[in-house]
Amino acid sequence: MQAANPRRGYILGLIAYITWGLFPLYFKAIAAVPSIEIIVHRVLWSALCGSLLLLVWKHPGWWRELRDNPRRLAILALSGSLIAANWLTYVWAVNNGRMVEASLGYYINPLVNVLLGMLLLGERLRPLQWLAVGLAAVGVAQQVWQVGSLPWVSLVLALTFGFYGLIRKKAPVAALPGLVVETWLLVPLAIGWLLLNPMAVSAQASFWTTSQAWWLAAAGPITVMPLICFNAAARHLPYTTLGFLQYIAPTLVLSLAVLVYGEHLAASTLLAFAFIWAGLAVYSVDIWLRSRRRN
């Protein structure tokens, strides 16, 4: 087994989370393509790119394990549906001026994971975790009270990704083979959508002579590359460290939303963020204290 190299782990982790945080720049570049069509191509190109990588980056025995455990295929079909819903919501949010809400969703996500662990896995929350979840709940409730409606983009992103992670625990397949199987299970739906929508932007021959076509095809490597970096980083860094790095992505999305794309950050939304950031600070302190006790 390769010895841990924290420096390499930090670099790879930063590459992964910075790439995820800069995804809006990519989706804005292909904003002329409808969100659902972007996801259709993201599925197709990710399936192709991931399959090619599997030929090079070997994962011995992964297919045999799936073949011998067909229940895992059903689980991956469900997790694939959840990640597709997450992708679609995120792309729609980015290209419809809702990036602030999208970033809020990914800030909430770690606390949603804690809550799901308690409700569905029978895990007991420590006092600081209760406080962290409570602060996030106050932030969401404050948004409901001020705006008069649920921040549905944030909640859909947090819940779909939270349930995705929970379900993937039930199918212990490595990240790249898992993504390949998930996307290939979605390929028939993606092809079916293209066949049922002959007037789609990418169904026109003239589209494939434009630069937009190259941007759309890039969805495959752009999806797979940070995943590979993340999984490589996980082999060199403690999971708690990766937990701290995960806040880079929503911070970049929020910064792009406000500073580059001019989205309005209302005082009420900022107050909601303040509660959620406070919850994340408490959650991070809890993780840090627990890791110190273990050491």
pLDDT at 59 over 60: yes
Query: Which band of pLDDT confidence, cut at 50, 70 and 90, is reported for residue 291?
Result: confident
Measured at the CA of 2, the angle between CA 50 and CA 64, to 5 degrees, comes to 45
Is residue 242 within 8 Å of 233, Cβ to Cβ?
yes
pLDDT, tens digit, for every residue of 78-130?
A: 999 999 999 999 999 999 999 999 999 999 888 888 888 888 888 888 888 88
pLDDT, tens digit, for every residue of 133-166?
A: 899 889 888 877 776 777 899 999 999 999 998 8
Structure tokens at 144: 């409901």
Contacts 24+ apart (CB under 8 A), 144-149: 146/268, 146/271, 146/272, 147/268
Q: Residue 162 burial (CB < 10 Å; 0-12/13-18/19+)? A: buried
Ranges of each domain in the chain: 6-294
For 203, the enclosing helix (H) or strand (E) is none
pLDDT at 178 over 50: yes
pLDDT at 184 over 90: yes
Mean pLDDT of 30-57: 93
Percent of the chain at pLDDT > 70 equals 97
pLDDT at 37 over 90: yes
Mean pLDDT of 169-178: 81
Identify the pLDDT of residue 170: 78
**Measured distance CA(116)–CA(120) in Å, rounded:** 6
pLDDT at 240 over 90: no
Per-chain mean pLDDT for the chain: 88
- pTM assigned to the model: 0.89
Mean pLDDT of 218-240: 84
Is residue 222 within 8 Å of 2, Cβ to Cβ?
no
Is residue 135 within 8 Å of 276, Cβ to Cβ?
yes
Q: Which residues have CB under 8 Å from 175's CB, separation 6+?
A: 227, 230, 231
Query: Which band of pLDDT confidence, cut at 50, 70 and 90, is reported for residue 57?
Result: confident
DSSP string, 277-291: HHHHHHHHHHHHHHH
Mean pLDDT of 39-52: 95
Identify the pLDDT of residue 239: 65
Q: Which residues have CB under 8 Å from 91's CB, separation 6+?
A: 27, 35, 38, 39
Is residue 51 within 8 Å of 180, Cβ to Cβ?
yes
Query: Residue length, the chain?
Result: 295
Identify the pLDDT of residue 115: 86
Mean pLDDT of 261-273: 89
Report CA 85 to chain centroid distance, whole Å: 11
